[in-house]
Amino acid sequence: MDNREIQAGIQQLERLISTGLALSAEKDITRLMETILLEAKNLTHADGGTLYTMSDDGSCLHFATIHNDSLNIAMGGTTGVPILFQPIPLRLEDGTANDHMVVVRAVLEGRAFNIPDAYHVEGFDFSGTRAFDERTGYRSQSFLTVPMKNHEDKIIGVLQLINAQDPQTHEVIAFSPSIQRLVEALSSQAAIAMTNKMLLDGQRKLFEAFIELIASAIDDKSPYTGGHCRRVPELTMRLAEAAHRTREGPFQGFQMTGDDRYELRIAAWLHDCGKVVTPVHVVDKSVKLETIYDRIETVSARMEVIRRDLEIRYLKEEMAAMKAGRAPEIDLEQRAAEINKLNDDMNFLRRINTGGEFMPQEQQQRVCEIARQCFLDGQGNRVPLLSEDEVKNLTISRGTLTDKEREVINYHIVATIKMLESLPFPSYLKNVPEFAGGHHERMDGRGYPKGLRREQMSVQARMMGIADIFEALTARDRPYKKGKTLSETLKIMEQMKKDQHIDPDLFDLFIREKVYLDYANIYLEPEQIDEVDESRLLGYRSLADAA
């Protein structure tokens, strides 16, 4: 062996080592398979090649990627050009081995086949290859077909190279035994890299399926939160991508890698996982007096007793007057007014039982006044129309939850953090607990559960806070309210920005990049998408104004 051959061998070994390192570092399975084929071509000076992958059931080989330099063919892989060839079955319809195909024989026998000239070989059917050559004017000559075995000695694919070329003359030659050994070594490295990647992908799919299982469990538990668990990730990622795209302002340095995006999406999916411990009757409380049932009907029955007693009192007065031989002295207008007042009071209680964004003080006072009315119970005792607990519920100023019930609801974020911090996340998901656990914090430090200020929170957690609020305000599936329009929602969030509840810079970005509108066009009803005057939103500045 002369010095030139030794030097060439060293270069090939160095290339094999560097290729192995590159394969280990590649995270995308599609790029990985394409890299395997291209590196094998370069290593062997082959003009073309194909990488096949084994089907899940082991019945056939699929074309994964095809390249040929002379014919300028690039299909599959990352090319965007689909491969329309049918998979190659390992067995024929009668059950016999399809061993006239060299790629199938490589799988069935578990060894490489080195063919100097496909036109002068016995035992294989290259009629398809010849037909292809006739159509294209190509001459398929030398073939090297190597099965790809992983660490368990399981064949997961086949690497086939065509037409080795002399590096100096570019003449088509046979694949040498030394080249074959290099390709076998490369295919072994490639198979292990592919297996590792497929295992990682499998673990990731399992993890994602588990996350969806949690969301489904919440959905099954309460239909009012399941949609929220699915929509917040979409809105969060839209806002994150808007920050990633911007090249001016506070977020000009915010950039995300593929792992960063995955980490944020996982956190968004899990941001309410603690709701699995929240009692259903609290989550689903659609009206103020709801427990297992809506107690407003019980109150209505009591009110009917009061009205009945009023009627009885007037009837007794009439009967007493008639027995005394005198005309009844009953003020019919007063009688009608008292009955109408009872009806009005009951209608009022029904209205305020539904809850809302704000209950004025005078309405709360009216509830207290109505509560002082009494009725006779079954034992003849005078009992107030409303119990202390009913008054407390009916005078809730916002929504349908009491302070105690809101504490129960709020505990879900504490449960979320505990659950997520107990999981052994890999390094690329280490921030999931912080991202997911911060969406109820406020910029002024008055949020929960930790009372963090803006500077103590990640940008991602602040993004999730905006997504969580916007989705909740516009959601149509909440038990206590209708979904708000865009203008109503953004007006509320404008005030929240002023009150240092949400991040002001992110809210400006949310408006400026029309994240709210892109989301609305997909997830909101047409009647919710009304006109928004962006220029009038508090603190809004266009890029031109900010420059």
Q: Are 376 and 506 members of one domain?
A: no
User: Are 146 and 69 contained in the same domain?
Assistant: yes
**Tokens, residue 316:** 């007794």
Q: Are residues 470 and 383 in the same domain?
A: no
Q: Between 277 and 170, name the one with better pLDDT.
A: 170
The tens digit of pLDDT for each residue in 391-446 reads 888 888 887 877 888 888 778 888 899 999 998 998 999 999 999 999 999 999 99
Domain that holds residue 338: 296-400
Q: Taking a C-beta distance cutoff of 8 angstroms, is the pair 162, 47 a contact?
A: yes
Question: Which of these three, 372, 400, 428, is where a domain ends?
Answer: 400
Contact predicate 175/150, CB 8 Å: no
- Whole-number pLDDT of residue 310: 84
- Give the percent of the chain with pLDDT over 90: 49
How is residue 104 written in tokens? Answer: 């199938």
Rounded distance between C-alpha atoms, residue 337 and residue 278, angstroms = 46
- What's the pLDDT score for residue 456? 96
In a domain, 284, yes or no: no
Is residue 318 in a domain?
yes
Task: Count Cβ atoms within 10 A of the Cβ of residue 11 and give its class: 0-12 exposed, 13-18 middle, 19 or more buried.
Answer: exposed
- Give the integer Cα–Cα distance in Å for 80 and 42: 22
Q: Is residue 286 assigned to a domain?
A: no
Report the pLDDT averaged over residues 353-376: 87
CA distance 486 to 537: 12
What pLDDT sits at residue 502? Answer: 96
Q: Does residue 145 come out as left (phi exceeding 0), alpha (psi in the -120 to 50 range) or beta?
A: beta
Q: Which helix (H) or strand (E) holds 64?
A: strand 60-68
Q: Assess whether 376 and 419 both reside in one domain.
A: no
CATH at 117: 3.30.450.40
Same domain, 62 and 173: yes
**One domain for residues 170 and 21:** yes
Per-residue pLDDT band at 381 (split at 50, 70, 90) = confident
Measuring CA to CA, which residue among 382, 360, 358 is closest to residue 372?
Answer: 382
Model pLDDT for residues 99-151, shown as the tens digit of each residue:
999 999 999 999 999 999 999 999 999 998 999 999 999 999 999 999 998 87
Residue 10 lies in a domain: no
Give the CATH number, domain containing residue 507. Answer: 1.10.3210.10
| Helices assigned H by DSSP within 26-87 | 29-44
The rounded distance, in Å, linking the Cα atoms of 471 and 490 is: 11
134 neighbors 101 (Cβ within 8 angstroms): no
Q: Residue 544's pLDDT is what?
A: 44
Residues 155 and 26 in one domain: yes
Tell me which residue of 393, 434, 384, 395 sits closest to 413, measured CA to CA. Answer: 434
Q: Is the pLDDT of residue 254 over 60?
A: yes
Residue matched to tokens 């149509």:
476
How far is residue 391's CA from residue 288's CA, in Å, rounded to a whole number?
A: 10
Which one of 357, 382, 400 terminates a domain? 400
345 and 229 within one domain? no
Same structural domain, 417 and 396: no
Tokens of 218: 């919440």
Q: What are phi and psi of 202, to 5 degrees?
A: -65, -40
Q: What does the CA dihedral 121, 127, 132, 133 come to, rounded to 10 degrees?
A: 40
> Which residue reads 């009837």 in tokens?
315
Please tell me whether residue 493 adopts helix, strand or coil conformation: helix
In a domain, 310, yes or no: yes
- Classify residue 509: in a domain, yes or no: yes
Please choose, from the candidates 150, 159, 144, 147, the residue with its C-alpha nearest in 3D space to the C-alpha of residue 189.
150
User: How many domains is the chain built from?
Assistant: 3
- Tens digits of per-residue pLDDT, 305-328? 888 888 888 788 778 877 777 777
- Please indicate, yes or no, if residue 281 is contained in any of the structural domains: no
Percent of the chain with pLDDT over 70: 89
- Confidence band (pLDDT; 50, 70, 90) for 542? very low
- What mean pLDDT, rounded, does the chain reach? 86
Q: Among 456, 429, 430, which Cα is nearest to 441's?
A: 456
Residues 63 and 182 grouped into a single domain? yes
Compute, in degrees rounded to 10, the torsion defined by CA atoms 468, 471, 473, 477.
Answer: -120
What is the chain's alpha carbon radius of gyration, rounded to the nearest angstrom? 37
Res 492 pLDDT > 50: yes
94 and 180 fall within a common domain: yes
- Of 200, 234, 252, the last residue of a domain is 200
Write out pLDDT tens, residues 37-72. 898 898 899 999 999 999 989 999 999 999 999 999
423 & 392 share domain:
no
Q: Has residue 212 been placed in a domain?
A: no
